[in-house]
Amino acid sequence: MKKIPLILIIALTMSCAVINKLNLLTPEQEVELGRQASREVERSVRLYRDPLVRAYIDSLGQALVRASRLSQFRYYFKVVDAPEVNAFALPGGFIYVNLGLIKAAGTESELAGVIGHEIGHVEMHHGAKKISQQYGLAVVVDVISGSGDPSLKRKVIAQLLGFGGGLGVLSYGREAERESDKFAVHCMVNADVDPEGIARFFETLLKLHKREPKGVEAWFSTHPPTQSRIDFVRSEIAKLPNTAGLKKTSARFEQIRARIGGGKGS
């Protein structure tokens, strides 16, 4: 069966409240905005340098990008050396995954669900839409070109990164989160990965929030894993043909978790 690009699937089935929000930026402008924001990120956090861990996250991410079909962007996946459970995406394909999130994931499908969700934010242009609508095309173009007011540039980049929330990055709203969840479900199925991992990871986060709320605070501020969201993911999975037999985890995932001190997955 011919697989339809995920952008078309999401655009045809999700709420017009999200789809009708215009993105004023070209793909090239999104990449440059994301690149400038990524420089600020990497001045503010410590990246995890273990080459095996970095290569694993990149290979998992790139496999999901290929499964998404016809991506407009080249993706860069990096690991942040931080214990908090968090991941975030910048416009144009710059995705960061905290070490704490890798440790929290019980299976590769749980980790893939998070990464697929962040790819969804990029492919659906959520960050670019939010920033371009708030500030207007002229301001964002000035920021990208470096010709505008430096203080305004700092303000735009700071908002994009959500510095006030500890690099949580923009909160996109309920409909956008659902768009990205739906994107991740289809992306994972195309990659032969069990999409139930998304729902299981949300359940893990809810349990962690009860035990160690500070450890998942950044994630909860921007990607709240409510029960209704878990139910939504499972309802999307139920619409698909039989997903039995799709990959839940891998030996490589277990090796990486052991390497970073995450213990054995579930």
The per-residue pLDDT for range 190-201, each reduced to its tens digit, is 999 999 999 999
For the segment 50-74, the average pLDDT, to the nearest whole number, is 95
- Alpha-carbon distance 99 to 104, whole Å? 9
Query: What integer pLDDT is reported at residue 153 of this predicted model?
Result: 80
- Alpha-carbon distance 170 to 161, whole Å? 6
- Report the predicted TM-score, pTM, of the whole model to 2 decimal places: 0.86
193 three-state secondary structure:
strand
Most confident of 10-14, 110-114, 237-241: 110-114
More confident residue, 140 or 22: 140
Domain boundaries, the chain: 6-259
Q: With 80 as the cut, is the pLDDT of residue 213 above it?
A: no
Q: With 70 as the cut, is the pLDDT of residue 166 above it?
A: no
Q: What residue type is assigned to position 218 of the chain?
A: A
For the segment 95-107, the average pLDDT, to the nearest whole number, is 96
More confident residue, 5 or 187: 187
Q: What are phi and psi of 29, to 5 degrees?
A: -70, -35
Structure confidence by residue, pLDDT tens digits, 238-261: 999 888 899 999 999 999 999 999
**pLDDT bracket for residue 87 (50, 70, 90):** very high
CA torsion, points 208, 213, 218, 223, in degrees to nearest 10?
Answer: 50
